[in-house]
Amino acid sequence: MIHTRIQLGGLDIAVTFKAVKHVHLSVHPPEGNVTLVAPNGTRLEVVRAYAISKLGWIRRQQAQLLGQARETPRQFVTRESHYIWGRRYLLNVVQQDVPPFIKMDHRRITFSVRPGTDAAKRAAIYQGWQRSLLHQVIPPLIGHWESRIGVEVAGYFLQRMKTKWGSCNHDRAHIRLNTELVKKPRDLLEYVIVHEMIHLIEPTHNERFIALLDRFYPAWREARSELNELPLGTDGTG
């Protein structure tokens, strides 16, 4: 696998040469970073010409991402809006001298912290709670799809990622999921899990991968579109 970069009129594109049959061009949320995967042996001039032919499409994708709604930085104060599983909740911060805890009902999230707890510490506590929500729902989803797809996930990991909703280590049978998914509807988390699990069969986004995705999750295009249209997070919020 060979990595390089090309510059086109101020556009920086990360290029990877690997064992694929076709060129794959992607614009990644939230910042519109561009990657291009090309078959081993492809001349850099050919890659550059292909990227130039797609400049209009790249710019349109980036403009869509830049125009997408973004969350303002969270301060973790009372009456602040927070999203869990696609639903908006109002935060109610309670200061009391007991170990911190968070509970959620149908319309609000109650966040109990010790007096004097600053925003950074509140963020850390809240993010730990978000991760616990993900850990509750991810293993059953993986188990459900393991039997349907016919693969076995050796392990999964949660990580705050800026440009991907998930990733897969094909050799180790590990999948990695973006912690921001806790804010999205659960069916979109399920779509990302299925997407990454199919990579255990086919590591690249080739025709075989698309065919498998069509077979196991026919609504994947709608799910992908909805996922990329929802408000983007900001650093320190998930």
What does the H/E/C string look like for the chain?
CEEEEEEECCEEEEEEEECCCCCEEEEECCCCEEEEEEECCCCHHHHHHHHHHCHHHHHHHHHHHHCCCECCCCCCCCCCEEEECCEEEEEEEEECCCCCEEEECCCEEEEEECCCCCHHHHHHHHHHHHHHHHHHHHHHHHHHHHHHHCCCCCEEEEECCCCCCEEEECCCCEEEEEHHHHHCCHHHHHHHHHHHHHCCCCCCCCHHHHHHHHHHCCCHHHHHHHHHHCCECCCCCC
Summarised one tens digit per residue, pLDDT across range 92-144 is 999 999 999 999 998 899 999 999 999 999 999 999 999 999 999 999 999 99
**Predicted local confidence at residue 118, as pLDDT:** 93
The tokens 């319309």 sit on which residue?
A: 107
Q: In angstroms, rounded to a whole number, what is the distance separating the alpha carbons of residues 32 and 19?
A: 25
Other Cβ atoms less than 10 A from the Cβ of 147: the count is 9
Give the percent of the chain with pLDDT over 70: 92
Mean pLDDT of the chain: 89
Instruction: Indicate the pTM of the whole model.
Output: 0.72
Question: HSE (CB half, 13 Å, CA atoms) of 8?
Answer: 21
For residue 238, is pLDDT > 50? no
CA distance 210 to 117: 48
Structural domains in the chain, CATH included, are 2-66 (no CATH), 81-229 (3.30.2010.10)
Percentage of the chain modeled with pLDDT above 90: 69
What is the tens place of the pLDDT at every residue in 36-77? Answer: 999 999 999 999 999 999 999 998 888 877 665 556 678 899
CA pair distance 34, 49, nearest whole angstrom: 15
How far apart are alpha carbons 153 and 164 in whole angstroms? 19
Residue 193 — pLDDT band, cuts 50, 70, 90? Answer: very high
- Whether 237 shows a pLDDT value over 50: the answer reads no
pLDDT band for position 236 (cuts 50, 70, 90): very low
Neighbours of 32 (CB within 10 A): 18
